[in-house]
Structure 1
Amino acid sequence: MSDSPLAEAIRSEIDAAVVSLETGARLWAQLTVAQRSQLLERVRMTVAAVADEWVDAASRAKNLDPASPLRGEEWLTGPYVTLQALSAYRRTLTSLAAGGSPLDGVSTGTAPGNRLRINAFPAVPLDHLVLSGFRGEVWLQPGVSLDDARAHAGLAQRHPRESHGIGLVLGAGNVTGIPILDALYELLAAGRVVLLKLNPTQDGLADVFTRALAPLIEPGFVRIVTGGGDVGAYLTQHPGIGHVHITGSAATFDAIVWGGDKERADPALQTPITAELGGVAPIIVMPGAWSDADLRYQAEHIATMRLHNGGHNCVAGQVVIISRDWHLREKFLEVLADAYRDAPHRTPWYPRSDEKLATARNDYPEATWSADGTRALVDLLPGEAHDLEMTEYFAPVLGVVELAGSGQEFLDAAVAHANNKLVGTLGANVLIDPATEATLGAGFERAISDLHYGGIAINTWTGVVFATPVLSWGAFPGGTLGDVGSGLGVVHNALLLDHVERSVLRGPFRPFPRSASIDSVRHGQFSVIARPPWFVTSRTADRVGEGLTKFQTDHDPLRLARTLALAMRA
């Protein structure tokens, strides 16, 4: 940083925040787990109180029309997911305070490769309605026994009297719930008080976040600061910071850790760091006997994976992997092109997205462009190296690659392609009809275990894994400081489980009422969800998102009934 008066003032402000957090860390260590649970309930109330302002500020930052159904994205990935996380953490803390375990009452099983499967979702009765037909699992690393899992569940809350200092959270700029969720995980899983530095794209939410987290800010457990890269650089090297967590890009991670020079002998950053960094997310489309309605619905599903939040998601689907031998391949690709082109238009808003689109236009002159030149659909020739498979575009660019085979042969080839050709290990999506999944049997589960991603969505989108806080969120284990991939460690994970490898979320292949078909019911895929509210084509997403959020605090059954009725009209 420079020695200008402004820089000195910022430096003094940050130093004062660190001093207050040092006091807060000592106070945090004096609270019992029961007191922390009560504190989280106060935070739930303050989050609920600012929810409308939160969504308004986020929508303005992203240039969303006040009447747009797309505002539902801001409800669901902002205050709603935050309230969900706070409730899930409260359940965990309540169990620990009573002398129990977060795993009490949670069923478990085995997954391929000597893995323990924690059946974390549904967690409460309401989950059966809001995400009807969904099942979420946390898979622990190979060899971890149930006794080991129970012994470590609770992480820092198992020893609340131990002080772990101050953690710096460098907030993401794309989804407004991320900085808050990361701060909560740092506080509860690691036992560190938090200095939260907002991304400049979210500076307009600083006041809202300050009031939302007031019960944590007042006693010195959290501080919020704003500023650019110079502020972030000062913070990462601050002697009072004991840990850094970043949600962002691998390039930013390398700049922090290596100071722009990865050839140096030792990292420039000596402080421990965790990170969530995105990647190129695959969408594996398993060939099957799909109806015309199946083709249209899953085409909208894929369009949502790419276009949600304007395409500015770290886990946006970027490469569709499809069988060239599927008898419906040509028809599905036509329907996909239509769905991608016709999805509601919004101008890309994230900084430098225009540069990413210009790169795609230069690299793929044969791409099909739509939405006033802001969306690209690219056919990728197999066997060739493609930038689209090696670079997270963070903008509306969708590639399609075709591989040979059908059934297990195709699935194994698609998994190998995703693992070996696509950069990153954050999230992968698999679309498969129930009859085909049943035919594959154990081979399907084995293929899922071979898919080395930290979040796997089967017949849903990994964005829903992110928004389900009882599941973990983060890269598949294996990243290092020198080759970080999609990151180090996990967040969310409200059961506070140790030795997490991945989370798997399974949804229904068909929406209601087609989910009531004999085929879907026979294979356990009945659901009362019509078009999910996170689909970019949902006409009622804003009202459903608002209704679900406000039900979290007022528990008004009439509000819930009205909200579910709106969801059925999506």
Structure 2
Amino acid sequence: MNTVHDESTSLDTLVEELRRGEETWAAMSLSARRDLLTALSEAVREHAREWVDAACAIKRLDPGSHLAGEEWISGPYALLGGIGALSETLAALEAGRSPLDGTRLSKAPGNRVAVQVLPHNLFDRLLLNGFRAEVWTEPGVTAERLRETAGLGQRTPRETGGVGLVLGAGNILSIAPLDTLYELFAHNRVVLLKLNPVTDPLLPVLTKVFARFVELGLVRIVTGGVELGSAAVAHPGIAHVHITGSVTSHDAIVFGPGEEGRERQARDEARLDKPISSELGGVSPTIVVPGKWSKRDLAFQAEHIVTQKLHNNGYNCIASQVLVLSEDWPQKDEFLLALRGAFAAATARPAYYPGSDDRCRAAVNDHPGTAEQIADGSRVLLTVPADGDIAFTEEYFAPVLAVTALPGQGQEFLERAAAFVNERLSGTLGANVVAHPRTIRGLGDGFTRFVARLRYGTVAVNAWTGVGYLTARATWGAFPGHTLQDAQSGIGIVHNGLLLGGTERTVVRGPFRPFPRSVLTGRFTLSPRPPWFVTNRTAAVTGSRLTAFAGRPGWAKLPGIFASALRG
């Protein structure tokens, strides 16, 4: 059975099937588990077009539009990357090696260790030239401890963790499958996956993709509303809950709905009697460090920030919501002019996510006289004071971007910006930083200290934090330390294809300028305009070719990818 409603007998049956599947999972060797991943990869590759067509139907996009590239890249491509990373980790463990063997480890600020996760191989160096990513450990975690624990649940595969419930996200369609894999391989839990009602049309595709896992009783995929979700959370056979969604949904699960739930939360009296992990979004910032930019820099970075906001029409947990500028930057007004132009020129798309139009109207109503309704009111640009605004504490989850400014330049601005985003904005999932390489070099160690001060699960410098999401060996989740009573952007991590313990954040770096202008910054890279940019006109072709490559990597596929990417 792949679809149930709220009948307790049906739920009982599913949980019992998974309990038997847990025994199967415990008995499976690492080699057999890798075979399952191979079958999963082949199934994703086979059904990738069907997946993207279903995604475009959900989001009311033309499958022939360049916007379909978002669904290729954040859908089957992302899942295939995760499968490949896990398969390599299992192969290392099976051979008696650490998954970190051959991986570059270095020192990071504050007694941390940095693990290079991008580029991971030669193909990464070619396809994502100029992009880098490191996973930073928590302070005090040593390289020796990392090596000894890498592999997590796959180091003791017979010690399973029961039945886990995954409450899937309704926006990015690789989230639920990737969360399912993390439960299986990081925690050795078999999975009851409940889809978000927005993504229910993806059920036939996911059923085909996970067919082998379903046959063996390792995964069950269900659809249903709040009643089913509540029954599954409360079911005594469920050992753990993982949710991707809003902090409101999290709090209702943990403490109960309505006023009674809020009172319980105030007393820190959880109603949930089992552990929960979560990824809950938040108010993500983009900090623009003042410097001397060319007109083409201003235009490109305006497109970059508009992408951070309008990718998936703003329905991303790490969509940039607050743009932080320097009041004293001589080019501030020129940059805002370029930003407004890029914001207005981005391709129109339907507001498919429930409540989006209402949230846009609320943003306008909350800011009388300072809200700019762009593109027939479907996008909202806010100018807000730095001393306080609702846009700093409420995630709009809609095409709404707030702009604020702080005094200072150089190191003074960095100190103010770090304090502002750490202390004034809700959530800790991701923060973006845009800075000219010459400015970064001039700031020296001060810029490194600034990055280390940002309390976010992913920090992206001259890149979007979404690159961290796409990097299979990177960690993904909130900055550690949140509690059930104040969950912010969530508790725990996912992705993490190396299966590392003791991690704190991922730091991504990208090229300030695309190829060929990158040579003028002193850091030559081959990366053109990235395919995830909302302005990339060949994103769908590039995305489909990248997906085919991720399914079966091969040198012969590279020329076609490069040709499409360079036209974007």
TM-score (normalised: structure 2): 0.97
- Spell out the pairing of 1:378-389 with structure 2 (5 A cutoff): 378-383=382-387, 385-389=388-392
1:70 correspondence with 2:67: yes
Question: Contact 2:160/2:187 (CA < 8 Å) preserved in 1?
Answer: no
Letter in 2 for 1:262: R
> 1:239 aligned to 236, 241, 245, which one?
236
Cα distance in 2, alignment partners of residues 270 and 479 from structure 1: 18
Q: Pick which of 263-272 and 159-168 moved more.
A: 263-272
Where do 1:458-469 residues align within 5 Å?
458-469=461-472
3-state secondary structure, aligned to 1:129: helix
1:267 to 265, 270, 273: 270
Deviation at 1:527, TM superposition (A): 1.6
Question: Is 2:377 the partner of 1:373?
Answer: yes
Q: In structure 1, what is the Cα distance between the partners aligned to 2:498 and 2:216?
A: 25
Q: C-alpha separation between the residues in 1 aligned to 2:289 and 2:239?
A: 46
Q: Which amino acid aligns with 1:157?
A: Q
Given candidates 494, 512, 522, the residue that maps to 1:520 is 522
SS where residue 263 of structure 2 aligns? coil
SS state at 1:335 partner: helix
- Please state how far the C-alpha of 1:35 moved relative to its aligned partner: 1.7
CA distance in 1: counterparts of 2:91 and 2:341, whole angstroms: 49
Alignment partner, residue 46 of structure 2: 49
> 3-state SS of the aligned residue for 1:29?
helix
Counterpart of 1:181 in structure 2 is 178
For each residue in 1:412-434, what CA deviation from the matched residue of structure 2 results, as whole angstroms up to 9, or x when unmatched?
11111100111000000000111
SS at match of 2:36: helix
CA contact (8 A) 2:169 2:244 kept: yes
> For residue 368 of structure 1, what is the amino acid of its counterpart?
E
Counterpart code for 2:339: L
Give the drift of 1:551.
Answer: 1.7
Q: What is the letter of the counterpart of residue 122 of structure 2?
A: P
> What is the identity, as a one-letter code, of the residue corresponding to 1:326?
W
Superposed, which structure 2 residues align to 1:473-512 within 5 Å? 473-512=476-515
The alignment-based identity, stated in percent, is 49
The SS at the match of 1:123 is coil
Deviation for aligned residue 1:130: 1.7
Q: Once the 2 structures are TM-superposed, how far is the Cα of residue 556 of structure 1 from its aligned partner?
A: 4.8
Which of 541, 547, 550 in structure 1 is aligned with 2:548?
A: 550
Asked if 1:204 is matched to 2:206, the reply is: no
Q: Is the 8 A contact 1:287 1:326 kept in 2?
A: yes
> Does the Cα contact within 8 Å between 1:303 and 1:336 map onto a contact in 2?
yes
Distance 2:558 2:106 in 1: 33
Q: 1:37, 1:93 within 8 Å by CA — same for their partners in 2?
A: yes
2: CA distance, partners of 1:36 / 1:222:
14
Q: Deviations over 1:42-79 (max 9, x none)?
A: 11001111100000000000000122100000000110
What is the identity, as a one-letter code, of the residue corresponding to 1:248?
G
Which moved further from structure 2: 336-345 or 555-564?
Answer: 555-564
Cα deviation, residue 528, structure 1: 1.1
Deviates more, 1:32-41 or 1:538-547: 32-41
Aligned-pair CA distance for 1:554:
3.9
Note the C-alpha offset of 1:15. 1.5
Write the distance in 2 (CA, Å) between the matches of 1:356 and 1:129.
41
- Alignment equivalent of 1:407, drawn from 406, 410, 415: 410
Match of 2:118 in 1: 121
CA positional deviation for 1:445: 1.0
Give distance in 2, aligned partners of 1:332 and 1:167: 47
Kept after mapping to 2: 8 A contact 1:311/1:348: no
* Correspondences of 1:246-285 after superposition (within 5 Å): 246-260=243-257, 261-264=261-264, 266-285=269-288
Partner of 1:309: 312
Normalising to structure 1: TM-score of the pair? 0.96
- The one-character-per-residue Cα deviations of 1:200-231 (angstroms, maximum 9, x if unpaired) are 00110001001011121110111100000111
Q: Aligned equivalents of 1:7 and 1:533: distance in 2?
A: 39
Secondary structure, aligned partner of 1:263: helix
Query: Among 81, 84, 102, which residue is 1:84 paired with?
Result: 81
Q: CA deviation at 1:40?
A: 0.5
Is the counterpart of residue 363 in structure 1 residue 366 in structure 2?
A: yes
Q: Which amino acid aligns with 1:307?
A: L
Aligned residue for 1:191? 188
State the 1:7 CA deviation: 6.0
Conserved 8 A contact 2:279-2:478: yes
Match of 1:429 in 2: 432
Residue 351 of structure 2 is aligned to residue 348 of structure 1: yes
Question: Contact 2:456/2:478 (CA < 8 Å) preserved in 1?
Answer: yes
1:24 to 21, 34, 48: 21
Quote the residue 1:533 is aligned against: 531
**Corresponding residue for 1:3?**
none
**Residue 156 of structure 2 corresponds to which residue in structure 1?**
159
Any idea what SS the aligned residue of 2:262 has?
A: coil
Counterpart of 2:222?
225
How much does 1:85 deviate? 0.5
SS of 1:509 mapped into structure 2: coil
One-letter amino acid matched to 2:15: V
Q: Distance in 2 between matches of 1:163 and 1:350?
A: 37
Match for residue 439 of structure 1? 442
Deviations 1:324-364 (A, max 9, x none): 11111110111111111111111221001111011011011
SS at match of 2:181: helix
- Which residue number in structure 1 is paired with residue 339 of structure 2? 336
**SS, match of residue 331 in structure 1:** helix
| Counterpart Cα distance in 2 of 1:556 and 1:33 | 26
* Alignment-mate amino acid for residue 305 of structure 2: I
In the superposition, relative to structure 1, how do residues 287 and 26 fare at CA in structure 2: closer, same or farther (>3 Å)? same
Pick one of 125, 131, 137 that aligns with 2:134. Answer: 137
Distance in 2 between the 1:14 and 1:543 partners? 41
Shift of 1:372: 1.4
Residue 61 (structure 1) aligned to one of 58, 66, 70:
58
Q: Which amino acid aligns with 1:377?
A: L
Aligned to 1:289: 292
| Aligned AA (1:313) | N
Aligned partner of residue 232 in structure 1, secondary structure:
helix
SS in structure 2 opposite 1:262? helix
Conservation of the 8 A alpha-carbon contact between 1:73 and 1:542: yes
How far is 1:234 from its partner?
Answer: 0.3
SS at match of 2:117: strand
Q: Distance in 2 between matches of 1:7 and 1:154?
A: 36
How far apart, CA to CA, are the structure 1 residues paired with 2:278 and 2:74?
A: 19
1:256-289, Cα deviation, whole Å (9 max, x unpaired): 0001213225211111000000000000001111
Contact map agreement 2:61 2:350 (CA 8 A) in 1: no
Stretch deviating more after TM superposition (556-565 or 168-177): 556-565
Name the CA distance, whole Å, in 2 between partners of 1:479 and 1:441: 31
Q: Distance in 2 between matches of 1:119 and 1:559?
A: 26
Partner of 2:566: 568
Distance in 2, matches of 1:553 and 1:403, equals 46
- Unaligned 5+ residue runs, structure 2? none
Give the superposed CA RMSD. Answer: 1.1
Secondary structure of 1:466's aligned partner: helix
Secondary structure, aligned partner of 1:106: coil
Query: Residue 510 of structure 1 contacts residue 520 of structure 1 at CA under 8 Å; is this kept in 2?
Result: no
Look up the equivalent residue of 1:567 and give its one-letter code: A
